[in-house]
Chains A and B, each alone.
Chain A
Amino acid sequence: NAGVTQTPKFQVLKTGQSMTLQCAQDMNHNSMYWYRQDPGMGLRLIYYSASEGTTDKGEVPNGYNVSRLNKREFSLRLESAAPSQTSVYFCASSLAGHQETQYFGPGTRLLVL
Protein backbone atom coordinates (compact mmCIF):
# COMPACT_ATOMS: atom_id res chain seq x y z
CA ASN A 1 0.00 0.00 0.00
CA ALA A 2 1.30 3.43 -0.96
CA GLY A 3 -1.11 5.13 1.46
CA VAL A 4 -1.66 8.77 0.47
CA THR A 5 0.36 10.12 -2.43
CA GLN A 6 0.68 13.74 -3.57
CA THR A 7 2.10 15.33 -6.69
CA PRO A 8 4.09 17.42 -7.25
CA LYS A 9 6.49 17.50 -4.30
CA PHE A 10 7.59 21.05 -5.00
CA GLN A 11 6.34 23.82 -7.29
CA VAL A 12 7.23 27.42 -8.02
CA LEU A 13 4.54 29.63 -9.52
CA LYS A 14 4.35 33.25 -10.57
CA THR A 15 1.53 35.39 -9.25
CA GLY A 16 -1.59 34.80 -11.33
CA GLN A 17 -0.63 31.37 -12.61
CA SER A 18 -2.86 28.39 -11.97
CA MET A 19 -2.08 24.86 -10.94
CA THR A 20 -3.67 21.68 -9.61
CA LEU A 21 -2.33 19.65 -6.73
CA GLN A 22 -3.11 15.97 -7.03
CA CYS A 23 -3.85 13.54 -4.22
CA ALA A 24 -4.70 9.86 -4.26
CA GLN A 25 -5.26 7.22 -1.57
CA ASP A 26 -5.38 3.46 -1.87
CA MET A 27 -6.90 2.65 1.53
CA ASN A 28 -10.53 2.70 0.36
CA HIS A 29 -11.23 5.66 2.62
CA ASN A 30 -14.43 7.63 2.23
CA SER A 31 -13.20 11.03 3.48
CA MET A 32 -10.41 13.19 2.13
CA TYR A 33 -8.98 16.54 3.20
CA TRP A 34 -6.73 19.37 2.06
CA TYR A 35 -4.73 21.37 4.59
CA ARG A 36 -2.14 24.09 4.43
CA GLN A 37 0.66 24.36 6.96
CA ASP A 38 2.21 27.71 7.76
CA PRO A 39 4.82 28.43 10.46
CA GLY A 40 3.24 29.06 13.85
CA MET A 41 -0.27 28.37 12.59
CA GLY A 42 -0.48 24.62 12.60
CA LEU A 43 -2.64 22.96 9.99
CA ARG A 44 -5.65 24.76 8.61
CA LEU A 45 -8.36 22.92 6.74
CA ILE A 46 -8.99 24.24 3.23
CA TYR A 47 -11.61 21.84 1.90
CA TYR A 48 -12.74 18.36 2.67
CA SER A 49 -14.84 15.65 1.08
CA ALA A 50 -16.84 13.50 3.46
CA SER A 51 -17.59 10.98 0.75
CA GLU A 52 -17.39 10.57 -3.00
CA GLY A 53 -19.47 13.22 -4.70
CA THR A 54 -19.46 15.70 -1.82
CA THR A 55 -17.15 18.58 -0.92
CA ASP A 56 -17.33 21.24 1.76
CA LYS A 57 -15.41 24.32 2.79
CA GLY A 58 -13.00 24.33 5.67
CA GLU A 59 -11.45 27.19 7.58
CA VAL A 60 -9.55 28.87 4.69
CA PRO A 61 -11.25 28.05 1.34
CA ASN A 62 -10.82 31.40 -0.43
CA GLY A 63 -8.69 31.17 -3.56
CA TYR A 64 -9.04 27.40 -3.87
CA ASN A 65 -11.31 24.90 -5.55
CA VAL A 66 -11.48 21.15 -5.18
CA SER A 67 -12.68 18.15 -7.13
CA ARG A 68 -13.42 14.71 -5.73
CA LEU A 69 -12.76 12.89 -8.98
CA ASN A 70 -13.62 9.45 -7.60
CA LYS A 71 -13.22 7.64 -4.29
CA ARG A 72 -9.44 7.56 -4.62
CA GLU A 73 -8.62 11.05 -5.87
CA PHE A 74 -9.12 14.54 -4.49
CA SER A 75 -7.51 17.48 -6.27
CA LEU A 76 -6.91 21.06 -5.14
CA ARG A 77 -6.81 23.87 -7.69
CA LEU A 78 -5.39 27.35 -7.39
CA GLU A 79 -6.99 29.39 -10.18
CA SER A 80 -4.86 32.52 -9.77
CA ALA A 81 -2.01 32.02 -7.37
CA ALA A 82 -1.06 34.74 -4.89
CA PRO A 83 2.06 35.07 -2.70
CA SER A 84 -0.17 34.50 0.36
CA GLN A 85 -0.72 30.97 -0.93
CA THR A 86 2.95 30.12 -0.44
CA SER A 87 2.72 27.20 1.96
CA VAL A 88 3.08 23.47 2.40
CA TYR A 89 -0.05 21.62 1.35
CA PHE A 90 -1.06 18.28 2.83
CA CYS A 91 -3.69 15.88 1.67
CA ALA A 92 -5.15 13.39 4.13
CA SER A 93 -7.77 10.68 4.20
CA SER A 94 -9.82 8.90 6.85
CA LEU A 95 -12.19 5.98 6.85
CA ALA A 96 -15.28 8.10 7.46
CA GLY A 97 -15.31 11.61 8.83
CA HIS A 98 -13.34 13.92 11.07
CA GLN A 99 -13.61 11.69 14.16
CA GLU A 100 -11.51 9.02 12.50
CA THR A 101 -7.73 8.86 12.35
CA GLN A 102 -6.36 10.74 9.38
CA TYR A 103 -3.53 9.49 7.19
CA PHE A 104 -1.40 12.17 5.58
CA GLY A 105 0.51 12.43 2.34
CA PRO A 106 4.11 13.70 2.19
CA GLY A 107 3.10 17.24 1.26
CA THR A 108 3.58 19.68 -1.61
CA ARG A 109 5.78 22.70 -1.03
CA LEU A 110 4.44 25.65 -3.05
CA LEU A 111 6.25 28.93 -3.59
CA VAL A 112 4.37 31.78 -5.27
CA LEU A 113 6.56 34.63 -6.45
Chain B
Amino acid sequence: AQSVAQPEDQVNVAEGNPLTVKCTYSVSGNPYLFWYVQYPNRGLQFLLKYITGDNLVKGSYGFEAEFNKSQTSFHLKKPSALVSDSALYFCAGKYSSASKIIFGSGTRLSIRP
Protein backbone atom coordinates (compact mmCIF):
# COMPACT_ATOMS: atom_id res chain seq x y z
CA ALA B 1 0.00 0.00 0.00
CA GLN B 2 1.16 3.52 -0.69
CA SER B 3 2.08 5.39 2.46
CA VAL B 4 3.96 8.26 4.01
CA ALA B 5 5.85 7.70 7.25
CA GLN B 6 7.28 10.15 9.73
CA PRO B 7 9.34 7.94 12.04
CA GLU B 8 9.84 10.53 14.79
CA ASP B 9 6.97 11.85 16.89
CA GLN B 10 9.19 14.58 18.35
CA VAL B 11 12.44 16.26 17.39
CA ASN B 12 14.30 18.53 19.83
CA VAL B 13 16.97 20.93 18.60
CA ALA B 14 18.87 23.83 20.14
CA GLU B 15 18.41 27.22 18.54
CA GLY B 16 21.09 27.89 15.93
CA ASN B 17 21.72 24.20 15.25
CA PRO B 18 20.72 22.48 12.01
CA LEU B 19 17.46 20.56 12.05
CA THR B 20 16.13 17.57 10.13
CA VAL B 21 12.61 16.20 10.15
CA LYS B 22 12.39 12.81 8.49
CA CYS B 23 9.88 11.52 5.96
CA THR B 24 9.89 8.28 3.99
CA TYR B 25 7.42 7.10 1.40
CA SER B 26 6.40 3.96 -0.41
CA VAL B 27 5.31 4.39 -3.99
CA SER B 28 4.51 2.57 -7.15
CA GLY B 29 5.29 5.54 -9.38
CA ASN B 30 6.79 9.02 -9.32
CA PRO B 31 5.51 10.89 -6.31
CA TYR B 32 4.42 14.41 -5.61
CA LEU B 33 5.73 15.19 -2.11
CA PHE B 34 4.86 18.06 0.21
CA TRP B 35 5.76 19.52 3.57
CA TYR B 36 3.24 21.49 5.62
CA VAL B 37 3.60 23.20 9.00
CA GLN B 38 0.94 23.67 11.66
CA TYR B 39 1.24 26.25 14.42
CA PRO B 40 -0.92 25.89 17.55
CA ASN B 41 -4.65 26.28 16.93
CA ARG B 42 -4.11 27.00 13.25
CA GLY B 43 -4.64 25.22 9.96
CA LEU B 44 -1.77 23.73 7.99
CA GLN B 45 0.45 26.00 5.92
CA PHE B 46 2.35 24.95 2.81
CA LEU B 47 6.15 24.93 3.07
CA LEU B 48 7.40 23.28 -0.11
CA LYS B 49 6.78 20.56 -2.66
CA TYR B 50 8.63 18.24 -4.99
CA ILE B 51 7.15 17.35 -8.37
CA THR B 52 10.06 16.53 -10.62
CA GLY B 53 13.47 17.89 -11.54
CA ASP B 54 15.97 19.20 -9.02
CA ASN B 55 16.14 16.89 -5.99
CA LEU B 56 16.77 19.81 -3.62
CA VAL B 57 13.64 21.86 -3.10
CA LYS B 58 13.71 25.23 -1.36
CA GLY B 59 10.67 26.53 0.46
CA SER B 60 9.33 29.10 2.87
CA TYR B 61 11.08 30.34 6.05
CA GLY B 62 14.50 28.99 4.99
CA PHE B 63 13.41 25.35 4.86
CA GLU B 64 14.53 22.92 2.19
CA ALA B 65 13.97 19.24 1.47
CA GLU B 66 15.91 16.67 -0.48
CA PHE B 67 14.18 14.05 -2.60
CA ASN B 68 16.15 10.81 -2.47
CA LYS B 69 14.68 8.18 -4.75
CA SER B 70 17.06 5.37 -3.74
CA GLN B 71 16.24 5.82 -0.05
CA THR B 72 12.60 6.80 -0.72
CA SER B 73 13.04 9.77 1.58
CA PHE B 74 12.06 13.43 1.56
CA HIS B 75 13.61 14.88 4.71
CA LEU B 76 12.97 18.49 5.71
CA LYS B 77 16.03 20.52 6.69
CA LYS B 78 17.08 23.94 7.88
CA PRO B 79 20.69 25.03 8.48
CA SER B 80 20.00 27.10 11.60
CA ALA B 81 16.90 26.55 13.73
CA LEU B 82 14.85 29.36 15.26
CA VAL B 83 12.63 29.13 18.34
CA SER B 84 9.79 30.28 16.07
CA ASP B 85 10.22 27.09 14.00
CA SER B 86 8.65 25.13 16.87
CA ALA B 87 5.49 23.59 15.40
CA LEU B 88 3.95 20.38 14.06
CA TYR B 89 5.28 19.32 10.65
CA PHE B 90 3.50 17.06 8.19
CA CYS B 91 4.86 15.27 5.18
CA ALA B 92 2.34 14.37 2.47
CA GLY B 93 2.47 12.49 -0.81
CA LYS B 94 0.52 11.69 -3.94
CA TYR B 95 1.68 8.89 -6.14
CA SER B 96 -0.15 8.82 -9.42
CA SER B 97 -2.65 10.72 -11.47
CA ALA B 98 -5.45 8.73 -9.86
CA SER B 99 -4.36 8.64 -6.23
CA LYS B 100 -5.39 10.90 -3.40
CA ILE B 101 -2.97 12.76 -1.17
CA ILE B 102 -1.82 10.95 1.99
CA PHE B 103 -0.50 12.69 5.09
CA GLY B 104 2.04 11.37 7.56
CA SER B 105 1.26 11.30 11.26
CA GLY B 106 3.22 14.47 11.98
CA THR B 107 6.43 15.36 13.84
CA ARG B 108 6.49 17.89 16.63
CA LEU B 109 9.58 20.08 16.34
CA SER B 110 10.73 21.82 19.51
CA ILE B 111 13.49 24.40 19.35
CA ARG B 112 14.99 25.33 22.73
CA PRO B 113 16.62 28.74 23.23
Show the binding face of A for B, using Cβ within 8 Å. Answer: 4, 35, 40-45, 48, 58-59, 90, 92, 98-99, 101-107
Q: Which residues of chain A have C-beta atoms less than 8 A from B90's C-beta?
A: 42-43
**In the complex the two chains form, is A98's CB within 8 Å of B94's CB?**
yes
**How many B residues face the partner with a CB closer than 8 A?**
23
Could you say which of B13-21, B37-45, B68-76, B77-85 contacts chain A? Answer: B37-45
State in angstroms the CA–CA spacing of A58 and B100 once bound together: 8
Question: Chain B 89-113, CB within 8 Å of chain A: the 1/0 string?
Answer: 0101010000111011110000000
Contact B45 A99 (CB under 8 A): no
* B104 contact set on A, CB distance < 8 A: 42
**A99 and B32 contacting across the interface, CB-CB below 8 Å:** yes
The 8 Å CB contact of B42, one of A41, A99, A106, is: A106
Q: Is the CB of B44 within 8 A of A90?
A: yes
- Tell me the complex Cα distance, A106–B42, Å: 5
Could you tell me the distance between the alpha carbons of A44 and B36 in the complex, rounded to whole angstroms? 14
B94 touches A41 (CB 8 A): no
Does B100 contact A98, Cβ atoms closer than 8 Å? Answer: yes
Q: Which 4 A-B pairs have the closest CB atoms?
A: A104-B43, A43-B103, A42-B105, A98-B101
**A98-B43 in contact (CB<8A):** no
* Residues of B contacting A101 in the complex (Cβ-Cβ under 8 angstroms): 34, 46, 49
Collect the chain B residues with CB atoms within 8 Å of residue A102's CB.
36, 44, 46, 101
**Residue numbers in B under 8 Å from A92 (CB-CB):** 43-44
Known: A48-B100, A98-B99, A102-B101. A42 touches B106 (CB 8 A): yes
Known: A45-B101, A107-B43. 6 other contacts (CB 8 A): A45-B100, A58-B100, A98-B101, A102-B101, A104-B44, A107-B41
Interface centre among B49, B94, B101, B105 (most CB of A within 10 A): B101
B-side contacts of A59, CB under 8 Å: 100
A13, B53: Cα distance in complex, Å:
48
Q: Which of A41, A42, A44, A90 contacts B43 (CB 8 A)?
A: A90
